[in-house]
């Protein structure tokens, strides 16, 4: 019995960063609360567009509108994050994101909400998020020692998936009972937690060798990534998985026209991936002990693609479809934790903002390209065909990535010759 308990504790997510690192704990708790509101908006905005247009292409267009500023601002945002106090930068971006959610609420309260206004606000929010995310990601190695960094990354994923579950379910209930305007308003209120947490932690000044934001600085970050093929391989494998395998833009159409489950079913479609991811993140205690994380990434992405295929094949059965989504998303979380650990442990602190910005550019643009691809394919051949074909293409692309980057399978985790966190 004691042996079983020890093994179970070895599987559970490592809580040491929360117990021992004060500023990480405060920031984590604030983001947990604020993230709940953000997830409600993630659920509410596509639903509002579908209700106004009854066209899946409108949601695909939303993905493209959000992709533009991500492409434009991410690399610059990473350079800024390396050059300034990251806490101060996060205060500014969180205030701007709260203002964008307030704008969505104001528009949604209108008798006839203009679709163009929703797109415009989403565009601004995506641009601000492109600066916020690399600053937040690159701050984590400064808040915890190197040996607890994989655990801290896993805890961040646990937080995001927890709010994914609660936000998706609560968002569906809130939309059904109070409307999308109240969903956006709820998001605005939860930003108080994130802002309060940032005010309570110590400043996070730039590295002594940090360069001023410039095109040369951005090029330095890109050059570092190009010189380290293990980093390039993590970008390539994620782009492949998200572009071909992400079906989230089809959730409103599937819920309302295929499963006929209404807003509550739409909430469950959004919650199922988060449930799977939450379970995977909760049982991620073993991830920090993986000797060959590259192989783990390959296996996880293969499981993601297989899960998406299953989701499409079982689309006639709502419970089975939800189960496949949960399995796929759980595998995606394991892939994400391993990929993030490889990146953060390979990159010196003076470049972490820029490398994090490239990573976030990949992570955020991939699903949006996937949303657009899935929506276009659904318009041509139906949503179920779009899902199944995307999963198959994901597996085919995975083979190509492994062939192009054999370093991914042979890579061994090591902290040697790496710059210590400040």
Cβ partners under 8 Å of residue 199, min gap 6: 91
CATH code at position 40: 1.20.1250.20
Report if residue 405 sits inside a domain: yes
Report if residue 279 sits inside a domain: yes
Number of structural domains found in the chain: 1
Report if residue 238 sits inside a domain: yes
Report if residue 417 sits inside a domain: no
pLDDT at site 272: 85
Nearest to 275 by CA among 370, 388, 168: 168
Report if residue 338 sits inside a domain: yes
Mean pLDDT of 250-270: 77
Ranked by mean pLDDT, the top range of 173-187, 189-203, 216-230, 384-398 is 189-203
- Cα separation, 164 vs 336, in Å, equals 15
Report if residue 228 sits inside a domain: yes
pLDDT at 382 over 90: no
- pLDDT tens digit string along 288-339? 677 788 888 999 999 999 999 988 888 677 888 899 989 998 999 889 888 9
pLDDT at site 211: 67
Cβ 74 vs Cβ 135: under 8 Å: no
pLDDT at site 422: 37
pLDDT at 415 over 60: no
pLDDT at 417 over 60: no
pLDDT at 215 over 80: no
- pLDDT tens digit string along 137-181? 888 888 998 778 878 888 887 888 788 778 877 888 888 888 888
pLDDT at site 416: 40
Chain center to CA of 217: 25
Cβ 253 vs Cβ 378: under 8 Å: yes
pLDDT band at 418 (very low <50, low <70, confident <90, very high): very low
Report if residue 421 sits inside a domain: no
- pLDDT tens digit string along 14-29? 788 999 999 999 999 9
Mean pLDDT of 7-11: 59
pLDDT at site 3: 58
Evaluate if pTM is beyond 0.95. Answer: no
Ranked by mean pLDDT, the top range of 189-198, 222-231, 367-376 is 189-198
pLDDT band at 387 (very low <50, low <70, confident <90, very high): confident
Domain residue limits at 130: 10-410
CA dihedral 22, 162, 147, 197 (to 10 degrees): -20
Radius of gyration of the chain (CA): 20
pLDDT at site 293: 85
- pLDDT tens digit string along 24-50? 999 999 999 998 998 899 888 988 888
Cβ atoms within 10 Å, residue 103: 19
- pLDDT tens digit string along 97-138? 999 999 999 999 988 889 899 999 999 998 998 889 888 888
pLDDT band at 4 (very low <50, low <70, confident <90, very high): very low
Give the per-residue SS3 of the chain: CHHHHHHHHHHCCCCHHHHHCHHHHHHHHHHHHHHHHHHHHHHHHHHHHHHHHCCHHHHHHHHHHHHHHHHHHHHHHHHHHHHCCHHHHHHHHHHHHHHHHHHHHHHHCCCCCCHHHHHHHHHHHHHHHHHHHHHHHHHHHHHCCHHHHHHHHHHHHHHHHHHHHHHHHHHHHHHHHHCHHHHHHHHHHHHHHHHHHHHHCCCCCCCCCCCCCCHHHHHHHHHHHHHCHHHHHHHHHHHHHHHHHCCHHHHHHHHHHHCCCHHHHHHHHHHHHHHHHHHHHHCCCCHHHCCCHHHHHHHHHHHHHHHHHHHHHCCCCHHHHHHHHHHHHHHHHHHHHHHHHHHHHHCCHHHHHHHHHHHHHHHHHHHHHHHHHHHHHHHHHCHHHHHHHHHHHHHHHHHHHHHHCCHHHHCCCCCCCCCCCC
Report if residue 2 sits inside a domain: no
- pLDDT tens digit string along 68-97? 787 778 778 888 888 889 999 999 999 999
- Cα separation, 304 vs 326, in Å, equals 10
pLDDT at site 5: 52
pLDDT at site 314: 80
pLDDT at site 154: 82
pLDDT at 374 over 70: yes
């Amino acid at each position: 019995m004691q042996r079983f308990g020890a093994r179970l504790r070895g599987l559970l997510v490592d809580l040491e960063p929360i117990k021992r690192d004060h500023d990480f704990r405060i920031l984590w708790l604030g983001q947990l609360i604020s993230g709940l509101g953000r997830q409600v908006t993630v659920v509410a905005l596509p639903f509002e567009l579908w209700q106004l247009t009854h066209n899946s292409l409108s949601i695909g267009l939303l993905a493209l509108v959000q992709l533009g500023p991500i492409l434009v601002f991410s690399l610059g945002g990473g350079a800024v994050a390396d050059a300034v106090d990251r806490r101060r930068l996060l205060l500014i971006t969180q205030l701007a994101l709260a203002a964008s959610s307030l704008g969505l609420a104001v528009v949604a309260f209108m008798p006839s909400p203009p679709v163009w206004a929703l797109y415009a606000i989403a565009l601004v929010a995506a641009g601000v998020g492109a600066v916020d995310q690399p600053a937040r990601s690159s701050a984590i190695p400064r808040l915890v020692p190197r040996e607890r960094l994989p655990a801290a990354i896993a805890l961040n994923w646990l937080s995001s998936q927890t709010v994914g579950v609660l936000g998706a379910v609560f968002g569906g209930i809130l939309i059904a009972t109070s409307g999308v305007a109240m969903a956006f308003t709820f998001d605005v209120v939860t930003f108080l937690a994130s802002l309060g947490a940032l005010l309570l932690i110590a400043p996070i000044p730039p590295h002594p060798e940090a360069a001023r934001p410039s095109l040369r600085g951005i090029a330095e970050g890109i050059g570092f990534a190009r010189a380290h093929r293990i980093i390039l391989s993590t970008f390539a494998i994620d782009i492949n998985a998200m572009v071909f395998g992400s079906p989230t833009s089809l959730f409103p159409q599937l819920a309302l026209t295929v499963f006929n489950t209404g807003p509550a079913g739409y909430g469950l479609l959004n919650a199922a991936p988060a449930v799977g991811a939450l379970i995977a993140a909760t049982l991620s205690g073993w991830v920090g002990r993986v000797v060959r994380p590259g192989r783990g990434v390959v296996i996880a992405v293969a499981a993601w693609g297989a899960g998406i295929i299953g989701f499409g094949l079982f689309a006639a059965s709502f419970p089975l479809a939800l189960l496949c989504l949960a399995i796929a998303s759980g595998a995606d979380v394991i892939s994400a934790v391993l990929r993030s650990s490889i990146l953060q442990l390979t990159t010196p602190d003076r470049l972490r903002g820029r490398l994090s910005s490239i990573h976030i550019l990949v992570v955020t643009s991939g699903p949006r390209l996937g949303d657009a691809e899935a929506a276009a394919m659904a318009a041509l051949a139906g949503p179920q065909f779009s899902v199944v074909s995307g999963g198959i293409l994901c597996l085919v692309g995975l083979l190509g990535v492994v062939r192009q980057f054999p370093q991914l399978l042979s890579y061994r985790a090591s902290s040697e010759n790496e710059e210590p966190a400040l």
